[in-house]
Amino acid sequence: MQDEYDCIYLVVDLHALTVQQVPAEFRKRCLSFVAQYIACGIDPEQSTIAIQSHISAHAELAWLLGTMTYMGELQRMTQFKDKSVQHQANINSGLFTYPVLMAADILLYQANCVPVGADQKQHLELTRDIAQRFNQRYSETFVVPEVFIPPAGARVMSLQEPTKKMSKSDANPQNYIALLDSPDVVTKKLKRAVTDSGTEIRFDESRPGLANLLTMYSVMTNQDMKKVESHFEGKMYGHLKVELAEVMVEVLKPIQKRYQEIMTDKGYLETVLAHGAENAGRRAHRTLSKVYRKVGFIPPNRQ
Protein backbone atom coordinates (compact mmCIF):
# COMPACT_ATOMS: atom_id res chain seq x y z
CA MET A 1 0.00 0.00 0.00
CA GLN A 2 2.96 2.34 0.47
CA ASP A 3 3.20 2.78 -3.31
CA GLU A 4 -0.35 4.17 -3.41
CA TYR A 5 -0.75 5.88 -0.03
CA ASP A 6 1.13 8.03 2.44
CA CYS A 7 1.47 5.30 5.07
CA ILE A 8 2.20 5.37 8.80
CA TYR A 9 3.22 2.14 10.54
CA LEU A 10 3.24 2.11 14.34
CA VAL A 11 4.74 -0.22 16.91
CA VAL A 12 1.92 0.04 19.43
CA ASP A 13 3.83 -0.38 22.69
CA LEU A 14 1.18 1.44 24.74
CA HIS A 15 -1.36 -1.17 23.72
CA ALA A 16 1.07 -3.93 24.66
CA LEU A 17 1.01 -2.86 28.31
CA THR A 18 -2.45 -4.39 28.70
CA VAL A 19 -0.40 -7.58 29.21
CA GLN A 20 2.36 -7.65 31.81
CA GLN A 21 5.78 -7.16 30.19
CA VAL A 22 9.37 -7.74 31.27
CA PRO A 23 10.89 -4.27 30.61
CA ALA A 24 14.24 -5.34 29.11
CA GLU A 25 12.60 -7.95 26.86
CA PHE A 26 9.86 -5.49 25.95
CA ARG A 27 12.38 -2.93 24.69
CA LYS A 28 14.20 -5.54 22.61
CA ARG A 29 10.95 -6.82 21.14
CA CYS A 30 9.83 -3.34 20.09
CA LEU A 31 13.12 -2.78 18.26
CA SER A 32 12.76 -6.22 16.73
CA PHE A 33 9.34 -5.30 15.37
CA VAL A 34 10.76 -2.17 13.74
CA ALA A 35 13.45 -4.27 12.08
CA GLN A 36 10.84 -6.80 10.95
CA TYR A 37 8.71 -4.06 9.41
CA ILE A 38 11.67 -2.89 7.34
CA ALA A 39 12.77 -6.42 6.49
CA CYS A 40 9.27 -7.17 5.19
CA GLY A 41 9.55 -4.30 2.74
CA ILE A 42 8.31 -1.17 4.49
CA ASP A 43 10.64 1.58 3.28
CA PRO A 44 11.31 4.23 5.98
CA GLU A 45 12.28 6.68 3.22
CA GLN A 46 8.86 6.24 1.68
CA SER A 47 6.67 5.57 4.74
CA THR A 48 6.66 6.63 8.38
CA ILE A 49 7.67 4.06 11.00
CA ALA A 50 7.24 5.17 14.60
CA ILE A 51 6.87 3.85 18.13
CA GLN A 52 3.54 4.84 19.64
CA SER A 53 4.90 5.97 23.03
CA HIS A 54 7.32 8.37 21.30
CA ILE A 55 4.33 10.52 20.36
CA SER A 56 2.54 11.74 23.48
CA ALA A 57 -0.48 12.87 21.46
CA HIS A 58 -1.72 9.27 21.31
CA ALA A 59 -2.31 9.07 25.05
CA GLU A 60 -3.62 12.64 25.21
CA LEU A 61 -6.22 12.18 22.49
CA ALA A 62 -7.21 8.78 23.89
CA TRP A 63 -8.24 10.44 27.17
CA LEU A 64 -10.33 13.04 25.39
CA LEU A 65 -12.01 10.48 23.12
CA GLY A 66 -12.67 8.32 26.17
CA THR A 67 -14.94 11.03 27.52
CA MET A 68 -17.05 10.66 24.37
CA THR A 69 -17.16 6.85 24.25
CA TYR A 70 -19.98 5.05 26.00
CA MET A 71 -19.53 2.11 28.37
CA GLY A 72 -22.09 0.10 26.43
CA GLU A 73 -20.07 0.46 23.25
CA LEU A 74 -16.93 -0.87 24.90
CA GLN A 75 -18.79 -3.71 26.61
CA ARG A 76 -19.93 -4.94 23.21
CA MET A 77 -16.37 -5.32 21.90
CA THR A 78 -15.80 -9.03 21.28
CA GLN A 79 -12.03 -8.71 21.70
CA PHE A 80 -12.47 -7.46 25.27
CA LYS A 81 -14.63 -10.48 26.02
CA ASP A 82 -12.07 -12.84 24.48
CA LYS A 83 -9.08 -11.20 26.21
CA SER A 84 -10.89 -11.26 29.55
CA VAL A 85 -11.15 -15.03 29.26
CA GLN A 86 -7.47 -15.36 28.29
CA HIS A 87 -6.15 -13.02 31.01
CA GLN A 88 -8.49 -13.60 33.94
CA ALA A 89 -5.80 -12.63 36.45
CA ASN A 90 -5.22 -9.29 34.71
CA ILE A 91 -8.51 -7.88 33.43
CA ASN A 92 -7.36 -4.28 33.59
CA SER A 93 -9.11 -1.11 32.46
CA GLY A 94 -6.60 -0.82 29.60
CA LEU A 95 -8.11 -3.94 28.04
CA PHE A 96 -11.52 -2.31 28.27
CA THR A 97 -10.47 1.05 26.81
CA TYR A 98 -8.09 -0.45 24.23
CA PRO A 99 -10.40 0.50 21.29
CA VAL A 100 -10.38 4.17 22.36
CA LEU A 101 -6.58 4.32 22.16
CA MET A 102 -6.81 2.55 18.81
CA ALA A 103 -9.24 5.24 17.66
CA ALA A 104 -6.74 7.91 18.73
CA ASP A 105 -3.99 6.11 16.78
CA ILE A 106 -6.07 6.44 13.63
CA LEU A 107 -7.79 9.79 14.01
CA LEU A 108 -4.60 11.65 14.97
CA TYR A 109 -3.30 11.18 11.44
CA GLN A 110 -6.57 11.94 9.63
CA ALA A 111 -6.35 8.50 8.08
CA ASN A 112 -8.59 7.90 5.07
CA CYS A 113 -8.03 4.17 4.97
CA VAL A 114 -7.05 1.61 7.62
CA PRO A 115 -5.92 -1.89 6.60
CA VAL A 116 -7.04 -4.37 9.25
CA GLY A 117 -7.78 -8.02 9.75
CA ALA A 118 -11.44 -8.99 9.86
CA ASP A 119 -11.23 -9.35 13.66
CA GLN A 120 -10.52 -5.60 13.98
CA LYS A 121 -13.46 -4.43 11.89
CA GLN A 122 -15.58 -3.88 15.01
CA HIS A 123 -12.94 -1.54 16.44
CA LEU A 124 -12.84 0.41 13.19
CA GLU A 125 -16.60 0.82 13.26
CA LEU A 126 -16.30 2.26 16.76
CA THR A 127 -13.57 4.63 15.55
CA ARG A 128 -15.90 5.86 12.81
CA ASP A 129 -18.70 6.37 15.37
CA ILE A 130 -16.39 8.36 17.67
CA ALA A 131 -15.14 10.53 14.79
CA GLN A 132 -18.68 11.28 13.61
CA ARG A 133 -19.80 12.03 17.17
CA PHE A 134 -16.96 14.51 17.68
CA ASN A 135 -17.60 16.15 14.30
CA GLN A 136 -21.29 16.56 15.06
CA ARG A 137 -20.63 18.02 18.50
CA TYR A 138 -17.72 20.35 17.66
CA SER A 139 -17.82 20.76 13.83
CA GLU A 140 -15.84 18.90 11.18
CA THR A 141 -12.48 17.90 12.68
CA PHE A 142 -11.67 14.27 11.96
CA VAL A 143 -11.61 12.35 8.70
CA VAL A 144 -13.98 9.41 9.08
CA PRO A 145 -11.77 6.46 8.07
CA GLU A 146 -12.74 3.67 5.72
CA VAL A 147 -12.00 0.06 6.52
CA PHE A 148 -9.71 -1.74 4.09
CA ILE A 149 -9.86 -5.53 4.33
CA PRO A 150 -7.90 -7.45 1.69
CA PRO A 151 -9.92 -9.98 -0.34
CA ALA A 152 -7.73 -12.90 0.77
CA GLY A 153 -5.73 -13.56 3.92
CA ALA A 154 -7.56 -10.96 6.00
CA ARG A 155 -7.82 -13.36 8.89
CA VAL A 156 -5.26 -16.12 9.31
CA MET A 157 -6.34 -18.68 11.84
CA SER A 158 -4.55 -20.58 14.59
CA LEU A 159 -2.78 -23.76 13.48
CA GLN A 160 -4.06 -25.80 16.43
CA GLU A 161 -7.38 -24.02 17.02
CA PRO A 162 -8.50 -22.96 13.54
CA THR A 163 -11.73 -21.37 14.75
CA LYS A 164 -9.60 -18.70 16.47
CA LYS A 165 -7.32 -16.16 14.78
CA MET A 166 -3.56 -16.67 14.66
CA SER A 167 -1.94 -14.37 17.22
CA LYS A 168 1.72 -13.72 18.00
CA SER A 169 0.75 -13.25 21.66
CA ASP A 170 -0.73 -16.75 21.88
CA ALA A 171 0.60 -18.67 24.89
CA ASN A 172 1.06 -21.76 22.70
CA PRO A 173 3.75 -21.14 20.05
CA GLN A 174 2.42 -24.11 18.05
CA ASN A 175 -0.56 -21.96 17.11
CA TYR A 176 1.33 -19.46 14.99
CA ILE A 177 4.18 -19.03 12.50
CA ALA A 178 6.55 -16.27 13.56
CA LEU A 179 8.47 -14.31 10.92
CA LEU A 180 11.72 -15.34 12.58
CA ASP A 181 10.93 -19.05 12.96
CA SER A 182 13.64 -21.31 11.52
CA PRO A 183 12.82 -23.58 8.54
CA ASP A 184 12.69 -26.63 10.81
CA VAL A 185 10.30 -24.92 13.22
CA VAL A 186 8.03 -23.73 10.39
CA THR A 187 7.91 -27.23 8.91
CA LYS A 188 7.18 -28.92 12.25
CA LYS A 189 4.41 -26.45 13.12
CA LEU A 190 2.69 -26.88 9.77
CA LYS A 191 2.96 -30.67 9.84
CA ARG A 192 1.18 -30.62 13.21
CA ALA A 193 -1.49 -28.18 12.04
CA VAL A 194 -5.08 -29.31 12.62
CA THR A 195 -7.11 -30.28 9.56
CA ASP A 196 -10.09 -32.68 9.69
CA SER A 197 -11.04 -36.27 9.01
CA GLY A 198 -11.70 -35.75 5.30
CA THR A 199 -9.35 -36.48 2.41
CA GLU A 200 -10.35 -34.18 -0.47
CA ILE A 201 -8.45 -30.88 -0.64
CA ARG A 202 -11.19 -28.33 -1.34
CA PHE A 203 -11.72 -24.90 0.22
CA ASP A 204 -14.71 -25.11 2.53
CA GLU A 205 -15.27 -22.74 5.45
CA SER A 206 -16.97 -25.57 7.35
CA ARG A 207 -13.54 -27.24 7.40
CA PRO A 208 -11.62 -24.37 9.06
CA GLY A 209 -8.26 -26.09 9.51
CA LEU A 210 -7.95 -27.06 5.87
CA ALA A 211 -9.40 -23.74 4.69
CA ASN A 212 -6.75 -21.91 6.74
CA LEU A 213 -3.86 -23.84 5.18
CA LEU A 214 -5.27 -23.33 1.68
CA THR A 215 -5.70 -19.61 2.32
CA MET A 216 -2.07 -19.26 3.42
CA TYR A 217 -0.89 -21.21 0.37
CA SER A 218 -3.04 -19.07 -1.94
CA VAL A 219 -1.77 -15.78 -0.52
CA MET A 220 1.90 -16.79 -0.35
CA THR A 221 1.96 -18.14 -3.93
CA ASN A 222 -0.32 -15.38 -5.29
CA GLN A 223 -2.66 -17.94 -6.84
CA ASP A 224 -6.44 -17.89 -6.76
CA MET A 225 -8.17 -20.64 -4.80
CA LYS A 226 -9.42 -22.53 -7.86
CA LYS A 227 -5.87 -22.88 -9.13
CA VAL A 228 -4.68 -24.03 -5.69
CA GLU A 229 -7.45 -26.65 -5.50
CA SER A 230 -6.55 -27.88 -8.98
CA HIS A 231 -2.88 -28.14 -7.99
CA PHE A 232 -3.70 -30.34 -5.01
CA GLU A 233 -6.37 -32.45 -6.70
CA GLY A 234 -5.85 -36.12 -5.85
CA LYS A 235 -3.18 -35.30 -3.24
CA MET A 236 -3.23 -35.85 0.51
CA TYR A 237 -3.19 -33.34 3.35
CA GLY A 238 0.45 -34.21 3.94
CA HIS A 239 1.36 -32.94 0.47
CA LEU A 240 -0.33 -29.63 1.20
CA LYS A 241 1.48 -29.21 4.51
CA VAL A 242 4.88 -30.04 3.04
CA GLU A 243 4.44 -27.72 0.05
CA LEU A 244 3.09 -24.92 2.22
CA ALA A 245 6.13 -25.27 4.50
CA GLU A 246 8.48 -25.10 1.51
CA VAL A 247 6.74 -21.99 0.16
CA MET A 248 6.69 -20.31 3.56
CA VAL A 249 10.38 -21.01 4.22
CA GLU A 250 11.30 -19.45 0.87
CA VAL A 251 9.17 -16.38 1.55
CA LEU A 252 10.68 -15.92 5.02
CA LYS A 253 14.31 -16.53 4.01
CA PRO A 254 15.08 -13.06 2.53
CA ILE A 255 13.07 -11.38 5.31
CA GLN A 256 15.12 -13.13 7.99
CA LYS A 257 18.40 -12.33 6.21
CA ARG A 258 17.51 -8.63 5.96
CA TYR A 259 16.30 -8.63 9.57
CA GLN A 260 19.65 -9.89 10.85
CA GLU A 261 21.45 -7.16 8.90
CA ILE A 262 19.22 -4.45 10.34
CA MET A 263 19.48 -5.68 13.93
CA THR A 264 23.26 -5.36 13.83
CA ASP A 265 22.97 -1.67 12.94
CA LYS A 266 21.42 0.00 15.99
CA GLY A 267 22.41 3.43 14.69
CA TYR A 268 20.26 2.90 11.61
CA LEU A 269 17.27 1.82 13.74
CA GLU A 270 17.67 4.88 15.97
CA THR A 271 17.76 7.15 12.92
CA VAL A 272 14.62 5.55 11.48
CA LEU A 273 12.76 5.96 14.78
CA ALA A 274 13.91 9.55 15.31
CA HIS A 275 12.77 10.48 11.82
CA GLY A 276 9.51 8.60 12.33
CA ALA A 277 8.78 10.27 15.66
CA GLU A 278 9.46 13.70 14.20
CA ASN A 279 7.28 13.13 11.16
CA ALA A 280 4.41 11.42 12.97
CA GLY A 281 4.65 13.75 15.96
CA ARG A 282 4.30 16.83 13.77
CA ARG A 283 1.14 15.49 12.17
CA ALA A 284 -0.30 14.20 15.43
CA HIS A 285 0.20 17.45 17.34
CA ARG A 286 -1.35 19.42 14.49
CA THR A 287 -4.54 17.39 14.92
CA LEU A 288 -4.36 17.48 18.71
CA SER A 289 -4.03 21.28 18.74
CA LYS A 290 -7.12 21.54 16.56
CA VAL A 291 -9.04 19.19 18.87
CA TYR A 292 -8.00 21.09 22.00
CA ARG A 293 -9.11 24.34 20.44
CA LYS A 294 -12.47 22.85 19.44
CA VAL A 295 -13.26 21.52 22.93
CA GLY A 296 -12.41 24.88 24.53
CA PHE A 297 -9.04 24.33 26.20
CA ILE A 298 -6.99 27.44 26.90
CA PRO A 299 -3.89 27.32 24.67
CA PRO A 300 -0.58 27.32 26.57
CA ASN A 301 1.37 30.58 26.66
CA ARG A 302 4.69 29.37 25.31
CA GLN A 303 7.54 31.85 25.93
CB atoms inside a 10 Å sphere around CB 100: 24
Q: Do domains 8-154+265-295 and 173-261 have the same CATH topology?
A: no
Does the structure show a pLDDT above 90 at 300? no
DSSP codes, 204-261: -TTSHHHHHHHHHHHHHHT--HHHHHHHTTT--HHHHHHHHHHHHHHHHHHHHHHHHH
What would the CATH number be for the domain defined by 8-154+265-295?
3.40.50.620
Clarify whether 168 is annotated catalytic. yes
Nearest to 51 by CA among 99, 10, 16: 10
- Rounded Cα distance, 242 and 192, in Å: 11
165 is catalytic: yes
Strand ranges for the chain from DSSP E: 8-11, 48-51, 113-115, 146-148
| 51: β partners | 11
235 is catalytic: no
Catalytic residue among 168, 227, 253, 266: 168
pTM above 0.85, yes or no: yes
- Tens digit of pLDDT for each residue in 203-233? 998 999 999 999 999 999 999 999 999 999 9
* Top-confidence residue, 202 or 301: 202
**Contacts from 199-202 at CB under 8 Å and sequence distance 24+?**
199/236, 199/237, 201/229, 201/232, 201/233, 201/235, 201/236, 201/237, 201/240, 202/229
Q: How far apart are CA 94 and CA 101, in angstroms?
A: 9
pLDDT value of residue 81: 72
Candidates 81, 121, 164, 165; catalytic one: 165
Q: Where are the domains of the chain?
A: 8-154+265-295, 173-261
The CATH fold of domain 173-261: Tyrosyl-Transfer RNA Synthetase (1.10.240)
The whole-number pLDDT of residue 302 equals 63
